[in-house]
Amino acid sequence: MARWQPGARERLVLAAVDLFAEHGYDATTVAQIADRAGVTKSTFFRHFPDKRELLVAGQDALSTLLAEGISEAPADATPLEAVAAGLAKASGFMGPMNRELAPRLKAAIAASTELQERDALKSVGMAKAMSDALESRGFSTSIAHLAAELGALAFKNGYATWTSTDDDSGLAPHALAALNDLKAATAHLR
């Protein structure tokens, strides 16, 4: 494969997930990933600072979309309605490749403590982006943090459901259903 072909970033992610599944995260090198993707090591490092970052590719864009959706929600939206708007906007970012990679990605994360830690940081980053956007809308810090944590959990639960079914309707309905389930569950916390 020629180095100048488009899609190097996506090919690197696919190659890494496959190699992690075949050989384990620790045994996989950057050189192997680059070779499998048909690019050079320098191309790898133009896209990612290290192999760990491959599995959270797109996190910044996802966090930005969550925050934008919250900011664009109607002025009278409740915190959870604003979070729902963020989830709906960010869900459009997740496409067929994300769904296809999900089982292999889940297995790679389950097999590596380092990747489990990085995955947890991804959730923290998403929650922070949502919390900041909610605070910018004027919600108190405690309300913003609680709504953001529920939003991060709804995204995670919705993603798990979406990637484990044959439903082609996209991530949004699953993430929003998960948020509604969590909202209903909060009634039992009193």
What pLDDT does 6 receive?
66
Neighbouring C-beta atoms of residue 106, cutoff 10 Å: 15
What pLDDT does 119 receive?
84
Q: What CA–CA distance (Å, rounded) separates 83 from 131?
A: 9
Q: What CA–CA distance (Å, rounded) separates 168 from 185?
A: 27
Highest mean pLDDT, choosing among 20-24, 40-44, 105-109, 118-122? 40-44
What pLDDT does 120 receive?
87
Residues of the chain with CATH 1.10.357.10: 58-189
Mean pLDDT of the chain: 90
pLDDT band at 157 (very low <50, low <70, confident <90, very high): very high
Q: 25-44 burial, b for 16+ CB within 10 Å, e for fewer?
A: beebebebbbebbbbeeebb
Mean pLDDT is lowest, of 70-84, 112-126, 130-144, for 112-126
Q: Identify which of 27, 35, 98 has the alpha carbon closest to the alpha carbon of residue 12.
A: 35
What pLDDT does 136 receive?
98
Give 8-54's CATH code, choosing from 1.10.10.60, 1.25.10.10, 1.10.3080.10, 2.40.400.10.
Answer: 1.10.10.60
CATH architecture observed for domain 58-189: Orthogonal Bundle (1.10)
Q: What CA–CA distance (Å, rounded) separates 181 from 168?
A: 21
CA 90 from centre of chain: 9
Residues of the chain with CATH 1.10.10.60: 8-54
pTM, to two decimals: 0.83
Query: How much of the chain exceeds pLDDT 70, in percent?
Result: 97
Neighbouring C-beta atoms of residue 117, cutoff 10 Å: 12
For residue 103, pLDDT over 50 is answered with: yes
Instruction: Write out the two tokens for 111.
Output: 């097999």
User: Quick one: average pLDDT of 186-190?
Assistant: 86
Residue 35 or 118, more confident: 35
